[in-house]
């Protein structure tokens, strides 16, 4: 039996992303850099004058955000990554959920920073606010270089400035949030979801591949998620073909190279 259709709003898919109430407007006005940690790494979709690897501290990256507008539908939501504040996750009940790496040691997220020209900035932010409308909040975060002394708490972080980043604000109050969720459950959803932007598993594959191609450190959670997906049986519905990230990388690179 088909699942009843639900409006996107039921999953907190808003008209535009929300803005962090803790950040003053003048603070946003001084920033011209975007930090990407998910699809913005492999498909930024906006003009920029410089791109470079960077990281943010105090966050974790998880496929715990529903997607009804890109990698799924309201009837069959997919999963996309969201940044979650590590200290907020500590307040949530993890239950029996297996989280790869202890949060205290897993709160550095690597991605790509994009410096945007002054003339392009208004239109870029306007477009990203729409792109990140599904449960995300626009905030600011300090950027750090890839290599730093993470074992020395007294080491001075040279810093790379501040960037706009979209994250899950107060996720426990968001209908878009699915976490904490066991890796096997997430993998099963990703293997079977598809939306206007394409198959959900292509998103996972593209992200893992982009981390590697940009020389970013591997993400242990994403690696475990991909491994769990290898155990998910392919969709059995006649006539429904969904490519999976769990085919060989060579096949997938050729399929999604465009």
Catalytic residue, chosen from 26, 132, 170, 212, is 132
3-state secondary structure the chain: CCCCCCCHHHHCECCCCEECCCCCHHHHHCCCEEEECCHHHHCCCCCCCEEEEEEEECEEEEEEEEECCCCCCCCCCEEEEEEEEHHHHCCCCCCCCCCCCCHHHCCEEEEEEEECCCCCHHHHHHHHHHHCCECCEEEEEECECCCCCCCCCCCCCCCCCEEEEEECCCHHHCCCECCCCCHHHHHHHHHHCEECCEEHHHHHHHHHHHHHHCCCCCCHHHHHHHHHHCCCCCCCCCCCCCCCCCCCHHHHHHHCCC
Question: Is 212 designated active site?
Answer: no
Question: Could you list the active site residues?
Answer: 132
């Amino acid at each position: 039996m088909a699942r009843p259709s639900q409006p996107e709003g039921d999953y907190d898919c808003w008209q535009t992303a929300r803005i962090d109430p803790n950040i003053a407007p003048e603070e946003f006005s001084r920033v011209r850099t975007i930090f990407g940690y998910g699809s913005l790494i492999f498909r930024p979709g906006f003009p920029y004058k410089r791109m470079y690897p960077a990281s943010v501290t105090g966050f974790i990256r998880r496929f715990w955000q529903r997607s009804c507008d890109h990698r799924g539908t309201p009837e069959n939501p997919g999963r996309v990554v969201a940044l979650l504040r590590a200290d907020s996750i500590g307040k949530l009940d993890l239950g029996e959920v297996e989280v790869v790496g202890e949060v205290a040691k897993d709160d550095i997220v690597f991605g790509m920073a994009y410096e945007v020209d002054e003339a392009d900035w208004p239109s870029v932010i306007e477009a990203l606010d729409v792109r990140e409308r599904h449960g995300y909040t626009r905030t600011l975060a300090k950027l750090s270089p890839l290599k730093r002394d993470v074992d020395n708490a007294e080491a001075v972080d040279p810093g790379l400035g501040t960037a706009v980043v979209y994250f899950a604000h107060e996720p426990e109050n968001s209908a878009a949030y699915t976490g904490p969720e066991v890796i096997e459950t997430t993998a099963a959803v990703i293997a079977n979801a598809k939306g206007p932007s394409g198959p959900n598993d292509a998103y996972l594959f593209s992200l893992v591949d982009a981390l590697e191609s940009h020389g970013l450190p591997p993400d242990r959670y994403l690696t475990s998620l991909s491994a769990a997906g290898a155990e998910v049986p392919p969709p059995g519905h006649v006539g429904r073909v969904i490519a999976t990230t769990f085919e060989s990388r060579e096949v997938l690179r050729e399929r999604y190279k465009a």
